[in-house]
Structures are given as structure tokens and as C-alpha cells.
């Protein structure tokens, strides 16, 4: 690739024209970790705002569906599935977003947006107990479908 796809020949930001691309099933998985103090983790079941993990899951799903409204050059996509897995660990909460569509472009940004908003929601729901909460390690885990092929972060592999 000689240039970034979101710029035209004059160097202006541009939405990629996907009208000639094939409609295929595409899935993306993204990850985030929210580092939280032990006393905050212990207090999660008693949160007066509700279950932070369930609220974060719902916020992430809604965010995936609104990605094109937040990221200027993203295409509005028909999301066929979106979910956030939450895993309570000793140092915090691991979040994994999975988003699927059948469309002409991928859902990497939708998965990244979903996991980021889910992490921000965990922060919002627990910040009253500790302002030092950290959102860490936001990244794409994998993507499947489309012309550029599949990508799997942990193996470093990119398959066409």
C-alpha cells in the first residue's frame, strides 16, 4: 500500500468508496483492560448505580452501532451481532468486544469503539471510589473477512 486509504490524491481526508467491494461476512474482536484497585473490585456488587459490568456491556453494544457517528470516515454498517465479554481478574476487568456484519467493509472500528466505551463506562461507574483507575491495552485482537484477509494479533499472522 503506497498511501493511507482515507486521503484523496490532494491529501484531503476522504471516505473510502466501498461500492465496488464484495459484500462478505466480517468479524472483529477488540480488547481493553481496566486496572482497578482491589477495594474497588470488592465493592462492585454493591455499586448503587447498578452492575458496572452489565452496564458496560450494554454501553459497548450501543457504541458499536454508533461508530459511524463518532469516527468521521467510518461507514454506517448493519451490525448483525455485537457483544462485550467481561472478565473480573485480580488486577481489574478484562473486556473483549466482538462485532459481526455482512457488508462491504470491516468492523474493526466498531469493535474498538465498543471496547473503549465499555471501558470508559466501567470507569464512570466506579470513579466515585477511586480516580486512579486506568484504561490499558486497547487493541485489535483479530479480524476476518474482506479483501485484505484475516488478521490474528497473537500469532502476528495476516492471512489472505
> Which H helix or E strand runs over 71?
none
User: Which of 126, 122, 125 has its CA nearest to residue 135?
Assistant: 122
**Is position 17 annotated as part of the catalytic site?**
no
**C-alpha angle 65/71/29, rounded to 5°?**
55
User: Which of 128, 142, 141, 124 has its CA nearest to residue 52?
Assistant: 124
Considering the candidates 83, 124, 137, 150, report the single residue annotated as catalytic.
Answer: 124
Which residues belong to the active site? 124
Amino acid at each position: 500500500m503506497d498511501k493511507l486509504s482515507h486521503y484523496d490524491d490532494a491529501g484531503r481526508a476522504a471516505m473510502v468508496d466501498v461500492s465496488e467491494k464484495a459484500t462478505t461476512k466480517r468479524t472483529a474482536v477488540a480488547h481493553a483492560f481496566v486496572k482497578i484497585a482491589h477495594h474497588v473490585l470488592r465493592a462492585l456488587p454493591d455499586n448503587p448505580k447498578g452492575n458496572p459490568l452489565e452496564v458496560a456491556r450494554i454501553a459497548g453494544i450501543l457504541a458499536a452501532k454508533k461508530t459511524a457517528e463518532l469516527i468521521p470516515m467510518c461507514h454506517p454498517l448493519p451490525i448483525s451481532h455485537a457483544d462485550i465479554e467481561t472478565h473480573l481478574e485480580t488486577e481489574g476487568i478484562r473486556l473483549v468486544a466482538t462485532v459481526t456484519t455482512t457488508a462491504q467493509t470491516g468492523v474493526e472500528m466498531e469493535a474498538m469503539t465498543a471496547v473503549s466505551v465499555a471501558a470508559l463506562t466501567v470507569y464512570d461507574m466506579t470513579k466515585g471510589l477511586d480516580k486512579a483507575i486506568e484504561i490499558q491495552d486497547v487493541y485489535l485482537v483479530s479480524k476476518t473477512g474482506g479483501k485484505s484477509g484475516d488478521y490474528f494479533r497473537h500469532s502476528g499472522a495476516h492471512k489472505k
